[in-house]
């Protein structure tokens, strides 16, 4: 009785810690403490799971020791692997890591459903149906996230498409549903075993088939959608297992993932159906590039222009993360501010390779939050700004997205850097961005390229401003 009370209390505390942790993650100031808090929640849940062992009768305990040993081995392997990956992963490889971790969540929910079906845990028709729905969503999230990981990691470069694919996918989904229904109807009988196995196979295959045709540029939205799926699947399995902590954690992840999916789709000006069922993101190679020549300047010339400007807006992008030049950038910015220049940072919601990528980079360098502006808050200011400094950004400042209907990024809102009086762009050469299209802004009259790795260019710019002395 006492153990039961402790287990229940631990679940409640864990749920509270998850909710508090997620709330704290919504601001860069408290995000780190939010992650740590949610981690403590996990410790409570895992501890309570092991305490449950004392709830079973002493005779039954020896039979459970194999399960306990397996759980300990799984925990050790999981902690060692994720601990090592978390420490060593490059910032630019975070999206694929998020995708694979998310897939593990979906796989776990599907495994819980399988165990629940095998151990007669599901006691009523409602329980069984919820188990099957959770399993379906968990399987889709598991295999879908693995494909998303392969695409983001560059292992699968092209979307896989074939004629009649949508009909094939719809048929596969209906087959999975029918097999699930059959599993529920024949549950507990020997005839129910085969449909059950086929149901899991069809659901796993559907996750793969659903993700294969989606273009790389849509992967941010897809990952957050699968994140929502995983949360939902975990929540449903929590209901089946009668585990409130699992239910609450699943619901929190599910609703946060749903909100993030809606925000990401809005940031790219795309509806979810458009993301899932259209061919966005692979027409880049056929798109015709802009004509004309790019002008270029030395880092010192660009730095001098900014030193004598009265306002500068900085647009960071993926290249800044690749170069790990955020510290150098802030050193440069502090010098401009000390000389009386009004400096602001403009953040596009899908700049970089994961939601909040640029905010994390700038926070890492210690840039104060009041210098950082979201797209909607700063877009009108570009027209009245002396200099827009674009660092390793391409797609998020591509005016083609506003005007060229044939462009694969048409419709995506952009940062209006092209409207500034003078635009400087730091990038290594004429490489395209994630979507693979060239940017006409780089050929505009008011735009000057400063070629080179962002870290090297910014170092030279810092030296140039130092050489000018203070105002
Ligand atoms: P981008 O369009 O991918 O462009 C990055 C640019 O950085 C490239 O043109 C590259 O040009 C330059 N670059 C690379 N390494 C550099 C270095 N060391 N120093 C200087 N420049 C460097 O980046 P973005 O403007 O940030 O746009 C993000 C794109 O990623 C969007 O299309 C978005 O949809 C997509 N996406 C976003 C997420 C997300 O959640 N945020 C996730 C997945 C995909 P050079 O080769 O010429 O240097």
In the predicted structure, residue 280 carries a pLDDT above the cut 60: no
Q: Which of 277, 235, 249, 237 is nearest to 18 (CA)?
A: 249
In the predicted structure, residue 405 carries a pLDDT above the cut 90: no
Integer CA distances (angstroms), 384 to 237, 314, 408, 420, in order: 54, 14, 29, 7
pLDDT at residue 279, rounded to an integer: 57
How many whole angstroms separate alpha carbon 378 and alpha carbon 380? 6
If you average pLDDT over residues 197-217, what whole number do you get?
Answer: 92
Integer CA distances (angstroms), 433 to 252, 285, 393, 409, 427, in order: 34, 12, 8, 11, 11
Computed over every residue of the chain, the mean pLDDT equals 90
**Which of these is catalytic: 370, 374, 376, 395?**
395
Question: How far, in whole angstroms, is CA 106 from its chain's centroid?
Answer: 15
pTM, entire model: 0.80
Helix (H) or strand (E) holding 316: strand 311-316
Cβ of 217 less than 6 Å from ligand 1: yes
407-459 tens-digit pLDDT: 878 888 999 999 999 999 999 999 998 888 899 999 999 999 999 999 999 99
**Greater model confidence, 279 or 10:** 10
225-266 tens-digit pLDDT: 999 999 999 999 999 888 888 898 899 899 989 998 988 888
How many A from CA of 68 to the centre of ligand 1? 46
Instruction: Look at ligand 1, atom 8, and give the residue with the nearest C-alpha.
Output: 433
Which ligand 1 atom lies nearest to the CA of residue 316? Answer: 26
Q: Is 395 a catalytic residue?
A: yes
Q: How many residues does the chain have?
A: 471
């Amino acid at each position: 009785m006492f153990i039961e009370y402790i287990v229940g209390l631990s679940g409640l505390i864990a749920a509270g810690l998850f909710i508090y942790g997620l709330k704290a993650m919504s601001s860069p100031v408290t995000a780190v403490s939010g992650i740590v808090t949610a981690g403590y929640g996990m410790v409570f849940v895992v501890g309570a799971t092991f305490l449950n062992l004392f709830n079973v009768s002493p005779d039954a305990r020896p039979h459970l020791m194999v399960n306990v040993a397996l759980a300990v081995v799984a925990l050790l392997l999981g902690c060692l692997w994720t601990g090592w990956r978390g420490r060593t992963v490059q910032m630019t490889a975070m999206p694929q890591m998020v995708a694979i971790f998310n897939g593990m969540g979906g796989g776990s929910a599907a495994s819980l459903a399988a165990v629940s079906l095998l151990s007669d845990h599901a006691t009523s028709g409602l329980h069984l149906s919820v188990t099957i729905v959770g399993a379906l969503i968990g399987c889709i999230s598991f295999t879908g996230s693995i494909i998303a990981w392969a695409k983001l990691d560059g292992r699968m470069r092209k979307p896989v498409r074939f004629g009649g694919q949508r009909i094939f996918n719809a048929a596969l989904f209906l087959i999975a549903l029918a097999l699930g229904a059959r599993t529920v109807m024949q549950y507990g009988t020997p005839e129910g075993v085969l449909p059950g196995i086929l149901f899991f196979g069809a659901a796993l295959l559907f996750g793969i088939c659903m993700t294969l045709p989606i273009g790389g540029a849509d992967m941010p939205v897809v990952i957050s959608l699968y994140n929502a799926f995983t949360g939902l699947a975990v929540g449903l399995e929590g209901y089946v297992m009668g585990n409130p902590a699992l239910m609450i954690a699943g619901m929190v992840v599910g609703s946060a993932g749903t909100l993030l999916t809606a925000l990401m789709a809005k940031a790219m000006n795309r509806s979810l159906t458009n993301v899932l069922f259209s061919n966005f993101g692979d027409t880049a190679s056929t798109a015709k590039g802009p004509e004309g020549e790019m002008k270029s300047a030395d880092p010192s010339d660009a730095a001098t222009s900014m030193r004598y400007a009265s306002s500068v807006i900085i647009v960071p992008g993926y290249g800044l993360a690749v170069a790990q030049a955020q510290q150098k950038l802030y050193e440069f910015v502090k010098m401009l501010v000390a000389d009386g220049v009004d400096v602001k940072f403009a953040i596009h919601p899908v700049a970089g390779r994961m939601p909040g990528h640029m905010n994390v980079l700038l926070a890492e360098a210690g840039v104060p939050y009041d210098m950082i502006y979201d797209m909607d808050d700063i877009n009108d200011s570009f027209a009245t700004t002396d200099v827009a400094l674009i660092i390793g950004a391409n797609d998020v400042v591509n005016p083609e997205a506003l005007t060229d209907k044939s462009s694969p990024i048409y419709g995506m809102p952009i940062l209006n850097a092209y409207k500034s009086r003078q635009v400087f762009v730091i990038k290594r050469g004429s490489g395209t961005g994630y979507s693979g299209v060239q940017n006409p802004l780089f050929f505009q009259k008011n735009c000057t390229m400063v070629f080179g790795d962002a870290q090297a260019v910014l170092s030279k710019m810092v030296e140039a401003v130092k050489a000018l002395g203070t105002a």
